[in-house]
Structure 1
Amino acid sequence: MKQTWRWFGPKDLVSTDDVAQAGAEGIVSALHHVPTGAVWTPEEIAQRQAEIAHMTDGSPSGLDWAVVESLPVSEDIKKQQGAWREHIANYKTSLRNLAGAGIEVICYNFMPVLDWTRTDLAWRLKSGASCMRFDLVDFATFDLHILARPGATEDYDEALRDEAARRFAAMDGAAREALAGNVVFGLPGAAERFSLEDVRAHLAEYAVMSEDTLRSHLIDFLSEVAPVAQELGLRLCCHPDDPPFPLLGLPRIMSTEAQYAKVMQAVDIPANGITLCSGSLGARPDNDLPGMMQRLGDRVHFLHLRNVKRESDGIRGSFYEAEHLGGDTDMVALVEAVLVEEARRRKTGRADWSIPFRPDHGQDILDDLGRRTQPGYPSIGRLKGLAELRGIIAALSPRVSA
């Protein structure tokens, strides 16, 4: 399991020095400043590689650009409208340029409109630490009373609608603005930022799109780009929906094992793979993460290891970002399943037997609380998570390899 670390580039308040000191072996990054749909040029890719390869004083960092996260898929591609064919052609060119730079793993997602959704980006825990949280009542408050989405009332039962109305009435203008800003945070570190009007415009275009239609658009996209990736020796890996249940009336197509299996079977080549995110998938009680790794592990090309604590037993409910070993996912069992899959790959001679992972998200603790990094990406909180995961790997590896 190759230990990696997400880094948002030179403006990231967590430096390559910090990453090297944390003991990570590679960097997960992207060209966040390049507009979605445009080509990633060899020059831009080389520039990011050079930035990763050096510490702030210019000395070698010992780090490489191990995983791209994300080479984004445009809304035009997801909707099959506008410049979607041009964007697919540009995506293929970017894949060729990444392959030319020696980067083999490319993570992306196919979530409509928003990359991830939380209602609180710094929720205070009893310990004094803070974390990101999704509160279903707050989200309903946003949907019903701030966004005022047509048809939203049909998505919530009477009790939830009543509670959302009470919460909205108790909010002042600043609280309402803060909630809207949290929900519509958009793409972390990316060039785009969505306004409420942007969201309303996208939702109107998705209003008539079914889950089957969106899935067919993903399969069409993969039918074009996955053979190119296969030819180039690249591994594409789709990140799950976050959270993994319907929001804002939008279709969700990568929230469960069955949904992943459909897409893997539809474009059945090794380059078409999975980013197994234990935090996103773990927000649903019916997702069995160790079992998914056992059954789909052949196509898992990248791992996000984080944990969430669910606050209800429903498919759709509130949750918060827990410590890496403190949430509802059995992280020890999941890591063991990963190590078993790696051992199987080694025996069959697969060159990609070592699956890169990163300690995804983390609670803000100690000096993190005053640093104001990207929400979910503190330095010390992720260092703690990486250390815990490293301990599990060290404890289980001798047993699995025996």
Structure 2
Amino acid sequence: MKQTWRWFGPHDLTSIDDITQAGASGVVSALHHVPTGDIWTPEDIARRHKEIATRKDGSASGLTWDVVESLPVSEDVKKQRGDWRAHIENYKVSLKNLADSGIEIVCYNFMPVLDWTRTDLRWQLANGGSCMRFDMIDFAAFDIHILERPGAPADFTNAVADEAAERFGRMDDETRKHLARNVTMGLPGSTESLSLDDVREHLAGYGAISPEQLRQHFIDFLEEVVPVAAELGMRLCCHPDDPPFSLLGLPRVMSTESDYRLILEAVDSPANGMTLCSGSLGARADNDLPGMMERLGDKVHFLHLRNTLRDDAAGSFHESEHLGGDTDMVALIAAIVREERRRKEAGRTDHQIPMRPDHGQDILDDLKRRAQPGYPTIGRMKGLAELRGVITALEHPITGLAR
């Protein structure tokens, strides 16, 4: 695996110098300032390459921009409304501009309205650190009593709805506003955020779109962009839904192994693949991550290795230590190592899969920095060190454990 690091650009509190010291050899980044649906220009792309390649003192960092995460898909494309055709054409141009700069891997997602959802961005841990958490009761309180979505109570069990009503009643105005901000935060690093009215407007636009129709819109998008990516020698990889189940009454189409199979088979191309995110997929008890890597590994172009711990039967979970959650990370990494060996033996040029230690718990000086939620410097470095130890052990000839 090529060990990479997510970087949000010059304003990221984790610097390029920090990334080199953490031991990563590649960078995952995006042009977060470009509005969704617009073209990523060669000039902006070249600037980001230069920023990644340069330390604070002007010397070469030795780092390369290896993966784009994310080149966002607009809500117009997902709903096939408004400027969706123009946005697809712009997407193709952006892919060409990225390919011309040497980028081969582009991660994206097809989640409607909310790209990822947490109710608490700095949940207190027993050890004094903090992490991100999704609490189903808090989310129900938001959905039913803050957003006031029509029909929301019917999407929760009576027990969850009753507890949500009680919890909402105990919240003061500031707590309610804080919860709403957490839920509607949007893509990490993005300059775009949603108001409650924005969310309501988007929900109205999705009102008549079924899971089957959203999936067809996804296939329509892929049928347009995958041939372009293939011609350019690029690999597109869809990130799973986060969390991997329906929220706000919206359809979800990338939450399970069967979801991925359907999409990968519908547009069968080496350029159409998946981002295997062990944290997102691992929030569902019925997702077998090591098994998914074994069965779908041929189409895995990018890896997010993180872990979550499911807290209750309602669907709540929090970001755990990388080796301490519900996903058997050792078994998953063993499956990845075996896939890389198969690729190398087959002569594939993409035998080394980029991996990043996704998310992390805020510990030590992270607690003072207040960096992008989920992306602390020390917490991710700890995660990378743990993952690197497992990888080194499994790849070592003395063990042969991944064979």
Question: TM range, normalised to the smaller chain?
Answer: over 0.9
User: Corresponding residue for 1:233?
Assistant: 233
Quote the Cα distance in structure 1 between the aligned partners of 2:375 and 2:337: 26
- Give distance in 2, aligned partners of 1:29 and 1:326: 27
Counterpart code for 2:12: D
Deviations 1:102-122, CA, capped at 9 Å, x for gaps: 010000000000110000000
Rounded to whole Å, the distance in 1 between the matches of 2:191 and 2:83 is: 18
Q: 1:298 maps to what in 2? A: 298
Q: What TM-score do you get using the length of structure 2 for normalisation?
A: 0.98
Which runs of 5 or more residues in structure 1 are unaligned? Answer: none
Of 355, 358, 362, the match for 1:364 = 362
- CA–CA distance in structure 2, aligned partners of residues 106 and 400 of structure 1: 31
Instruction: After superposition, give the CA deviation of every residue in 1:89-140 in whole Å (9 maximum; x if it has no partner).
Output: 0000000011100010000000000110000000000000000000000000
- Answer yes or no: is the 8 Å Cα contact 2:335–2:402 preserved in 1: no
Match of 2:273, SS? strand
Q: Distance in 1 between matches of 2:13 and 2:342?
A: 39
The correspondence of residues 2-401 of structure 1 with structure 2, limited to 5 A, is 2-312=2-312, 314=313, 317-398=315-396, 399=400
Distance apart, 1:160 and its partner CA: 1.2
For 2:21 and 2:303, the matched residues in 1 are separated by 21
Q: Percent identity?
A: 69
SS at match of 1:366: coil
More deviation in 183-192 or 11-20? 183-192
Q: 1:339, 1:400 within 8 Å by CA — same for their partners in 2?
A: no
| Displaced runs of 4 or more, over 4 A | none
Q: State the Cα distance separating 1:191 from its structure 2 match.
A: 2.6
Question: Which piece of structure 1 moves more, 5-14 or 157-166?
Answer: 157-166
Does the aligned pair in 2 maintain the 1:343–1:401 contact within 8 Å? Answer: no
- Distance in 2 of aligned mates of 1:183 and 1:212: 26
Distance 1:5 1:137 in 2: 33
Are the aligned partners of 2:334 and 2:402 in contact in 1 as well (CA < 8 Å)?
Answer: no
Q: TM-score, structure 1 length as denominator?
A: 0.98
- The answer to whether the 8 Å contact 2:238/2:273 transfers is yes
Deviation by residue 1:133-162 (Cα, 9 ceiling, x = unmatched): 000000000000000001101101221111
Alpha-carbon contact 1:293-1:334 (below 8 Å) kept: yes
Tell me if structure 1 keeps the 8 A contact 2:360–2:374. yes
Q: CA deviation at 1:400?
A: 5.6
- Which structure 2 residue ranges, 5 or more long, are not aligned? none
* Residue type of the alignment partner of 1:133: R
The residue matched to 2:373 in structure 1 has which SS? coil
Q: CA RMSD in A?
A: 0.9
